[in-house]
Amino acid sequence: MKRESTMNTMIKGSIAGATGIALLMGGFGTYALWSDSENLAAHGVQSGELDIATSAGVYDDANSAAANDWTATDKMVPGDTVTYTQTFTVKGTGKNLKGTISYVKPALSNNSFSAGMTHTVDITSSSADVTAGSTAGTFTFAQPFGTATLTAKVTYTLPAGTANQVDQNKAATLPAAAFTISES
């Protein structure tokens, strides 16, 4: 009986093994694994731009109706006011772009005028997206603004009350001063 029981176990084991092999093969003689593939569509990103460029400035005699009528060889006399105007083109593109544009007003150098040659610097922006900052000479932007124009006007005045030969053949120059544009 022992022999019969061992034999039954062997037969049952063989049948179970054959059934398992048949199930693994997916049937008698067939075997398949399904698969598929799909391409990732081509994508990319692009960076924005933050740039400032300038043009040549022009001088204007405030005492004359003509525009841009002051030349490098003209000389001021008491009571004259001369304005120098220069434009700056500012570009700002990029979804999360924000920052500042700043200008520090320099002091007149070689200012040997005893009567008090003065100068003022006024800066304006052509874009509602580039607005005056909390400090003089600064502007802020909080979004891509495309292109904006900043206009700097420097006004030189020789006081009208300068008498006798005071302040003749003197010079005052405004040193080069840059606008700085930066992202924050």
The predicted structure's pLDDT at residue 60: 93
For the question of whether the overall pTM of this predicted structure is more than 0.85, the answer is no
The predicted structure's pLDDT at residue 1: 52
Residue 72: count other Cβ atoms within 10 Å of its Cβ: 5
The predicted structure's pLDDT at residue 142: 81
Per-run averaged pLDDT (10 residues), the chain, 184 residues: 58 59 54 84 89 89 87 86 90 88 77 72 86 86 85 86 80 74 80
The predicted structure's pLDDT at residue 5: 62
The predicted structure's pLDDT at residue 19: 58
Q: Cα–Cα distances in Å, from 46 out to 21, 49, 60, 90, 121?
A: 56, 10, 43, 19, 37
Distance CA 182, CA 184 (A): 6
Distance CA 14, CA 8 (A): 10
If 0-12 CB within 10 Å is exposed, 13-18 middle and 19+ buried, where does residue 137 land? middle
Q: Characterize the bridge pairing of strands 81-93 and 49-54.
A: antiparallel
The predicted structure's pLDDT at residue 184: 77
The predicted structure's pLDDT at residue 61: 93
